[in-house]
Each structure stands twice: as C-alpha cells, then as structure tokens.
C-alpha cells in the first residue's frame, strides 16, 4: 500500500508506537485475569489464594503429614520455618510452589480435604483403617499412637477417597482444601474478613496500577501517532507544493488549478487521518488480537471454537458492507474535485455571471455537483451506520453462546465462573480487534485514492527542467541580447505549431513590438522567453546562451516578465514591489513605481507604500493593478523586460507617459512588448507582425505601413488617416500587394 511507504522515514516512531501498544494491550488484557481472580478467589474462596496456608499450627501440620508419603512430608516440612511461641509455623517456600499448580499445593490439597472431613466425622472404611463406625481426627491420632495405623494405610485411604469423588474430584479437593485453610486461619485467630479485604485491596491496587499504565501508554501512543501523522502531512504538503511550483503552465493545465488545490489540502488531510489510523488502530488491532489469543489458549476452557464462530460472523457482516461501499468511496474524491472546480469557476467569474443574470443557472450547476457528493456520502454513511449495531448484535450473540457453553463446564466442575468471565472479555477483544481491522480496511481505500492522486502530482515531471550542464554568459560577452532563431512551438497535446519559424534579435536599449490578431501566438512568444514553455524547434538565446542551458534561477533573475493579468499578492504595496527579494532596495522600489506611473496613486493612498493589498489585488483598480505589476518587474532591474499586453488597462495618456519613462530609464535593457494597440509599439525599434503563428511582417512602424497589409489593416482600425501619413493610393497599393 502507498500509505505504508510514507512511514519509511519514521521507523523510530513506529517502533515506539509498537512498544507502547504492546504495553497498553498487556495492561488491558491483564485486567480480565484479575477480574477472574477476584470472582474465583476474592469472592468464592474468601480471599484465600492457595491450598498452602501462609501460617499453620504445628499440630495441624502434623495431622496433614499423616496422609502424606515420607518424601512429601519432608518437602512440606522444609517449606515451613520453626514454630513460634504459640506453635505457629510460617511459610518460607517459593510463591511458585504455593501456586495452584505448584508442587506444595498438589501435595497438601488431598490431606487437607481428608483432615477437614475427619473434623466432621467420616465412615472409617473410607480411610482403610481397622476401625468401625464414624471416626474423627482424634480417633486417627489415637490409632496412630497405638500402632493400629501406619502412614501407608492412611495415604492409601486418602487416595481411595479421591477415587470415590470421580470426575469432580479435582474441583472438590481444591474447594475443600481452601475451606481447610480458612478454618486453620480461624483457629489461629485470624479474621477471614480481613483476609478477604486484604486480598481485594491488593487486587484493586494492581488493577488501578494497570489502568494507569494503560492510560499513559495510550496517551503516549496517541501523541506519537498525531506527531507522526502531522509530520508526514507537512512533508507531503511541502513536497507536493514544491512540485506544483516547478510545473509549467502545461502541467497546471493537465491537472487543473482546482484539482491541485484539492490534492494539496483535502487529499493530504485524508492521508493524515489514515496514517493516524494506521498507528492507533491498524497496528493495535493485531497486537491486541495476538495477546488475547495467547491468554485464551492459556486458560484452556475448551471454548476456543466460539472465537472461530465470532470471526466468521464478523467477516460476513463486514464483507457485505464493503461490497456496497467500496465503489462509492472511490467516487467520492472525484465528486470533491468537481465541487471545488465549480465553486472556483463561479467565484472567479462572479462578475460575468451577474452581468448575464445567470446566477440561478450557476447555482443549479453547483447544486448538482454538491448533490452528487451528498448522495454518495449519505449512501456510505448510512451503510457504515449499520456496522456498529450489527457488530454489537454479533458480539452479544457470542457472549450468550459462551455463557451457555461455559455454564455446562462450570456445572461439570471443569471451569470456574471467573474463568468464563475472563474468556468472554478476551473473546470480545479478539472480535473487536478483527472488527477494527475490517472497519479500517473500508476507510483506507479512500485514503489510498488520495495517496494515489498526490503521487500523480509528485511523479509528474515538469517539462521545464534544469540543464544537466548549466552555462552562464561570459563576463565579456553580450549583455541584454535576446535572440530567436527559427523558433517554433506546439503545445504538448497539440497537433500543429502555435508559432512557426520566428527569428529576431533585440539588444540593450532596443524595443521589440509584437502585434497580431487574437490567437496569432503573441503571448506564446512572450512565454518562451522566461521558459514558461520550451521551444519545440529552434533556439531562444539570451546573451548568446540557449535559455535551456542556463540555470532557471539565473535566467529568470535576468528577465522581468509582466503577464496579461497582473497578479498581486496579499500584503502591502512594498512587499509586492519587493517581491524579487533582497536585490530590490527602497530606491529601486521608488524608481520602479515612478517609471510605471504608480507613484502618484501610491502616495495618495493612506499609508502609502505600507497600505494593504488584498489577495489578488482586488482593492485596487485594473489599471492600478497593472501598473503595480509593471513596477514589480522593473524594480529588480532585469536585462530583458517582457510586457505581455501589460498596457491594455491603461488610458492613452498614462500609456504614453509610461513608455516615455521606460525608454529613458531602460536604456541598458532589451524590451519586448506584446500589444493590441498600435500606439503602444509604433515607436519600437522593430515590430513583428504575427498572423496564425507566422511572421508576416517585420520592421519599423513606417516600414510595415508600406509593406505589410496585415499591419496596415490593424493600423487603419486604430489610427486616423492623418496619423497613418499615407494617401489612399499608397494604402491601395499596399493592400493590393498583400492580395498578390
């Protein structure tokens, strides 16, 4: 999965998370064990944990040893210390030997059962002794002292009693042994309620301690998961945005701006949520399940088959839900893209929408996209809302099944109530772990789709690449010299050239004007200069170096490009004019504003250069925005100035002043002006006339008026006859020459 690859730089965080999850799972799954012990030991056995008493009277120990082999009696003797002044001996052996399955517990349980029975009186034949009628422990002591009974007979009699108990013998012996220990404690003056309360208090303290450990481990796991997920999302956003910033207009057009925004925001948010789920749930579920299974098999209740039934039932429920929701999850991100695309288009085109009175139509279009997304989300949410009730139904059915099957085991004496309760808890944890995995498996595909979409951006290489062997212009070489040599260009998905065979050279102090009909390729030529696109044929050279061989940063440092739409950024006028960075000083800023005819309106604003500019420059007029964009390009003092129809929003007077100031101040720069108005370029050193991507005229204004019909036709539509300076006969001759 793509999401798993995102963790390759966060291995340490995953190791820490796994360690914390293991601690948390073990703490959580130890609680049912303690609960079982509270029921079985704390309640049913009155807090007496073992058939081996912690303290025992000398006489009681001697009575028990009568029913043990000499070897067993020696083992028991070694486990108790010397008697105190009251004849009480304390246990000094190991906790392991004293445990339910320990050696001492197994040795002492049957003698304690026999001794307890003798205290109440039993049939003498059960002991194998040559005594008639009902006998008590006192009778056994007397018989032994008189030599009427020996150890072997008593041991044999005890074993005979155990055989008579049958299949329930083990459970009965354990219960009777615990009862003997209780009576022994009472005989020593120990309160059984104190024993029980002490045990319950000890178990309570242990359970609170485990809860605290689990709480701390869970909190730390959440912190690690959140930090890791946020770090992954931050790095992914940075990488994605870096890739987008390297894209040429071709790559941006391939994805669309709305889709790129969605991929950098919503999709990465989905990935962040998924990485958190992977750490907190996907990693926890198998660990929880494995630990629970280990404890289930350790209890040996014989109910393990119920877990298989639970897993099959959960799989069936989740399988049906996944089959219904998976196709919808895959479509959801496409619908999110569509909503963003329509919303962005409506916001960008709010003015023409209002001007044409198409608000209702656009609202319906947006509502259609929004409704498609809503319907998909409602379907998936409704389907997923059935999961939890169905899971609870399955889990409750499994609980009933365990209780039903476990009750038979309790009745047969092979299981205790606490063991059954613990088994229910373990089974629920296993089912929950499996359910978590299946639920996450439903949620992860959406994140997987988001990850794939982000990867598409990251794996898309820009068509504008840094040169493998970058070159810089020689210090003694030409400066501010721009040259096009047989340049042709076609868009990546286009079949025909947009411009074909363009040749020109413009040097410092010269101005090149480019004019032509709409769609003739004027802006394309302007975009080839700063390498927004690369020429498909021919060479674009700056200072004698092919622009494809020059580092992009160096190339664009030398070029000042002003696009058709002057884009301003939120901030102040100063931050916008100094957008090129530290190379722009205050003097450069003021000089550029003066050349661009922007100084007057800037100083007239409250705050001057510190006055605020809203996003996109919406709080200034179109002409002011265009002048600020021109000033921003001029402020970095480039070698080549490229104006892509950047004077269109200026009135004729401002246009004339700006061109005059530009001619005076930019004498050491080459200037390329793309324009629709003849007046803007008529004083250019040379003018190129484009028609359908081809150069149909090249020369000065006067030369083109007399040699290029296309230029003359444009001039006639904008200039008066007096301004043209041509007679009707001269105009007719030019047009006739064009027809030939």
CA distance 614 to 718: 36
Average pLDDT over residues 551-577: 89
- Number of neighbouring beta carbons within 10 Å of residue 400: 10
Residue with the larger pLDDT of the pair 547 and 728 = 547
* Higher per-residue confidence, 51 vs 492: 51
Torsion of CA 446, 449, 454, 458, to 10 degrees: 150
Position 159 scores a pLDDT of 76
pLDDT in tens, 623-642: 888 889 999 999 988 999 99
| Percentage, residues of the chain above pLDDT 90 | 18
Name the band, by pLDDT with cuts 50, 70 and 90, for residue 414. Answer: low
| Rounded CA separation 558/553 (Å) | 9
pLDDT band of residue 654 (cuts 50, 70, 90) is: confident
Average pLDDT over residues 182-199: 87
pLDDT of amino acid 671: 92
pLDDT band at 249; cut points 50, 70, 90: confident
Highest mean pLDDT among 284-288, 298-302, 324-328, 382-386: 284-288
Residue 146 three-state SS? coil
Q: What is the pLDDT of residues 335-372, one digit of tens each?
A: 877 887 788 778 777 778 877 788 888 888 888 888 88
Nearest by Cα to 6 from 444, 508, 589, 557: 444
* Tokens, residue 474: 């020689």
Average pLDDT, integer, range 695-722: 88
Confidence of residue 217 (pLDDT cuts 50, 70, 90): very high
Mean pLDDT over the full length of the chain? 83
Measured from the Cβ of residue 308, the count of other Cβ atoms closer than 10 Å reads 9
Chain segment 524-533, per-residue pLDDT in tens: 999 999 998 8
Q: Report the pLDDT averaged over residues 136-153.
A: 78
The residue extents of the domains of the chain are 31-200, 239-459, 482-567+634-699
The whole-angstrom separation of Cα 301 and Cα 666 is 93
pLDDT value, residue 168: 42
Bridge partners of 516? 690
Confidence check: pLDDT of 137 > 70: yes
Is 550 strand, coil or helix?
coil
Residue 300 pLDDT: 64
Average pLDDT over residues 724-738: 76
- What is the SS3 assignment for 302-351? CCCHHHHHHHHHHHHHHHHHHHHHHHHHHHHHHHHHHHHHHHHHHHHCHH
- Cα-based angle 272, 460, 336 (whole degrees, multiple of 5): 45
Same topology between domain 239-459 and domain 482-567+634-699: no
Above 80 in pLDDT, residue 721?
Answer: no
pLDDT at residue 107, as a whole number = 86
**How far, in Å, CA of 457 to CA of 447, rounded?**
16
SS3 460: coil
Alpha helices in 188-280 (DSSP H): 192-246, 249-255, 257-262, 268-277
What is the model's pTM?
0.70
Architecture of domain 239-459: Up-down Bundle (1.20)
pLDDT of residue 385 exceeding 60: yes
Task: Give the domain 482-567+634-699 fold.
Answer: Rossmann fold (3.40.50)
Cα–Cα distance measured from residue 506 to residue 672, given in angstroms and rounded to the nearest whole number: 8
Average pLDDT (526-544) is 91
Distance of CA 107 to the CA centre of its chain: 59
Report which of residues 716 and 441 the model is more confident about. Answer: 716
Note the pLDDT of residue 163.
Answer: 66
Please give the pLDDT value at position 302.
66
Q: What is the pLDDT of residues 580-626, one digit of tens each?
A: 888 889 999 999 999 989 998 898 888 899 999 888 788 888 888 88
Please check the confidence at residue 65 and state whether its pLDDT lies above 50: yes
Please give the share of the chain, as a percent, with pLDDT higher than 70: 92
DSSP string over 366-418: HHHHHHHHHHHHHHHHHHHHTHHHHHHHHHHHHHHHHHHHHHHHHHHTSS-HH
Longest CA span, the chain: 160
Range name among 129-143, 234-248, 463-477 with the lowest pLDDT average: 129-143
Up-side HSE of residue 177: CA atoms within 13 Å toward CB?
Answer: 24
pLDDT on residue 740: 38
**Which of the four pLDDT bands, split at 50, 70 and 90, describes residue 413?**
low
Q: How far apart are CA 427 and CA 424, in angstroms?
A: 5
What digits encode the pLDDT tens for the residues 93-136?
888 888 877 888 888 888 888 888 887 777 655 545 555 567 77
| pLDDT for the residue 208 | 93
Give the separation between CA 563 and CA 733, rounded to whole angstroms. Answer: 37
């Amino acid at each position: 999965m793509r999401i798993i690859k995102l963790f390759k730089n966060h291995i340490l965080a995953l190791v820490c998370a796994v360690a914390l999850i293991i601690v948390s799972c073990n703490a959580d799954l130890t609680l049912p064990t303690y609960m079982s012990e509270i029921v079985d030991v704390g309640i049913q056995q009155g807090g007496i944990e073992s058939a081996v008493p912690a303290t025992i009277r000398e006489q009681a120990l001697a009575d028990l040893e009568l029913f043990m082999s000499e070897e067993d009696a020696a083992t028991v003797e070694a486990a108790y210390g010397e008697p105190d002044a009251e004849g009480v001996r304390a246990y000094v052996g190991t906790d392991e030997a004293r445990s339910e399955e320990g050696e001492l517990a197994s040795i002492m349980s049957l003698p304690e059962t026999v001794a307890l029975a003798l205290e109440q009186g039993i049939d003498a034949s059960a002991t194998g002794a040559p005594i008639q009628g009902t006998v008590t422990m006192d009778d056994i002591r007397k018989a032994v002292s008189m030599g009427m009974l020996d150890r072997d007979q008593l041991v044999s009699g005890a074993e005979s009693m155990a055989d008579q108990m049958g299949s329930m013998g083990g459970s009965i012996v354990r219960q009777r042994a615990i009862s003997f220990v209780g009576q022994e404690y009472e005989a020593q003056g120990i309160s059984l309620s104190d024993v029980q309360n002490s045990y319950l208090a000890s178990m309570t303290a242990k359970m609170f301690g485990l809860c605290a450990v689990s709480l701390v481990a869970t909190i730390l796991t959440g912190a690690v998961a959140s930090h890791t997920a946020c770090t992954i999302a931050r790095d992914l956003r940075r990488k994605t945005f870096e890739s987008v910033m390297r894209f040429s207009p071709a790559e941006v057009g391939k994805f669309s701006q709305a889709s790129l925004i969605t991929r950098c925001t919503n999709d990465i948010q989905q990935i962040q949520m998924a990485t958190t789920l992977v750490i907190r749930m996907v990693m926890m579920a198998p660990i929880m399940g494995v630990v629970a299974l280990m404890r289930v098999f350790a209890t040996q209740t014989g109910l393990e088959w119920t877990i298989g039934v639970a897993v099959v039932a959960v799989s069936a429920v989740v399988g049906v839900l996944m089959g219904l929701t998976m196709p919808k999850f895959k479509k959801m991100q496409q619908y999110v893209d569509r909503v963003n695309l329509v919303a962005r288009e409506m916001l960008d085109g709010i003015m023409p929408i209002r001007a044409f009175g198409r608000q209702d139509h656009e609202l319906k279009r947006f509502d259609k996209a929004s409704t498609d997304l809503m319907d998909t989300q409602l379907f998936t949410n409704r389907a997923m809302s059935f999961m939890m009730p169905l899971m609870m139904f399955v889990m409750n059915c499994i609980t009933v099944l365990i209780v039903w099957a476990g009750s038979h085991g309790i009745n047969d004496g092979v299981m205790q109530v606490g063991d059954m309760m613990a088994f229910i808890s373990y089974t629920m944890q296993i089912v929950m772990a499996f359910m978590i995995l299946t639920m996450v498996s439903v949620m992860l595909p959406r994140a997987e789709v988001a990850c794939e979409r982000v990867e598409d951006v990251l794996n898309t290489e820009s068509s504008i690449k840094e040169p493998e062997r970058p070159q810089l212009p020689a210090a003694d070489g030409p400066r501010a010299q721009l040259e096009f040599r047989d340049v042709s260009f076609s868009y990546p998905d286009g079949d025909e050239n947009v411009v074909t065979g363009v040749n020109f050279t413009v040097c410092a102090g010269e101005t090149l004007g480019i004019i032509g009909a709409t769609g003739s390729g004027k802006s394309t030529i302007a975009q080839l200069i700063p390498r927004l696109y690369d020429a498909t044929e021919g060479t674009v050279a700056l200072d004698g170096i092919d622009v494809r061989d020059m580092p992009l940063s160096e190339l664009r440092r030398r070029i000042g490009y002003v696009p058709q739409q002057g884009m301003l950024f939120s901030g102040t006028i100063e931050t916008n004019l100094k957008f090129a960075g530290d190379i722009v000083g205050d003097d450069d800023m003021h000089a550029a504003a003066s050349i661009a005819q922007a100084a007057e309106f800037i100083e007239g604003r409250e705050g001057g250069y510190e006055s605020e500019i809203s996003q996109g420059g919406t709080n200034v007029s179109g002409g002011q925005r265009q002048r600020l964009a021109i000033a921003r390009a001029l402020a970095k003092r480039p070698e080549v100035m490229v104006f892509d129809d950047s004077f269109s929003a200026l009135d004729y007077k401002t246009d004339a002043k700006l061109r005059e100031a530009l001619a005076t101040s930019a004498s050491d720069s080459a200037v390329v002006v793309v324009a629709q108005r003849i007046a803007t370029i008529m004083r250019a050193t040379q003018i190129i006339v484009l028609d359908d991507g081809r150069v149909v005229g090249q020369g000065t204004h006067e030369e083109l008026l007399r040699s290029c019909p296309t230029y003359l036709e444009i001039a006639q539509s904008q200039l008066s006859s007096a301004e043209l300076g041509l007679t009707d006969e001269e105009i007719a001759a030019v047009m006739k020459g064009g027809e030939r």
